[in-house]
Amino acid sequence: MIAELVAQWPSAQPEINQRFAALAASGTPAPAEYARALIAWPEPCVGPVRIAMLDGPVNAALPSLADRNIRVTQISPGESEPNYHHGTALAAVLVSPGSPLGLLPDVDLAVGVVMESDDDGPYTTTEWVLRGLDWALGLEPRPSALNLSFGGPRSAQMQRALEVITQAFPVAAAAGNEGHKQVAYPASYPGVVGVTAVDAKGRRWPRANTGREVSIAAPGVEVWTLDGAGRGYYANGTSIATVFVTAALASASANPRSLDEWITAHAIDAGPAGRDPEYGHGVLSMRRHCTRNGT
């Protein structure tokens, strides 16, 4: 085609219509978002799935979240001043369409608010979590995965409730950020996927709890996200890492009855050979395993 145009109009110098990118006007470099590359998250990775999350309130009015499919249900009393920081940070990693680029921007995100705040920061209780688990189990359509980015002591009631929940859909929970040699609950309960945090080089975050209940590792060090006011910042913690695993479980339609097989297939071994208390089965990897449009 080009040769024909040159022959007909040699002085016009015809050529292919190429594409040029707009150059940023700001001198501030873009934030480093290594996490998607580290776990080989596909582009695009969307599907008709629902994720449930028990956490603090999400500031769904932010420009980055306002047009997302976020439904917030108040489960705790709601008597304290809303602290949007934690819940919004997790939601942005999941569904933000810009910076950060959410893992599943079109997912239906159901948020059960189980946290209040006092001078020590956000907290929840056994009662509120149990109510939240009951709420999650009653959602229609049923969630593809449940995210629990909080931790504390053992509760027999919570364990019983999660025995039921984990038969219905997979649950990912944070290992904890105290640097203890004991994984926090609910991540320590049988059937729950306990998640630890690694950095851009796949190294375990030193403050992450360790123990035989650790199932898998995911990005959780210097992960770019949004605070409750919509400001970007780099977040650390097993809470953030858990969101990556929850998104992976949901998008890959993991079957709770074959969860161990799914984890083994979606982890690249790290640390000592085989499963270990620092990395579990290894670092999350989504190569060729993220579905699109539910297929």
pTM: 0.87
Task: Please state the rounded mean pLDDT for residues 76-98.
Answer: 94
User: Cis omega (within 30 of 0) on the bond before 29?
Assistant: no
Q: Give residue-wise pLDDT tens across range 259-270.
A: 989 999 999 999
Q: Give residue-wise pLDDT tens across range 163-176.
A: 999 999 999 999 99
Instruction: Report d(CA 278, CA 285) in Å as an integer.
Output: 17
Q: Give residue-wise pLDDT tens across range 214-239.
A: 999 999 999 999 999 999 999 999 99
Domains of the chain (ranges; CATH) run: 33-284 (3.40.50.200)
Across the chain, the runs of DSSP E, i.e. the strands, are 50-55, 70-74, 108-113, 116-118, 121-123, 145-148, 171-174, 193-198, 214-219, 223-226, 232-235, 267-268, 283-284
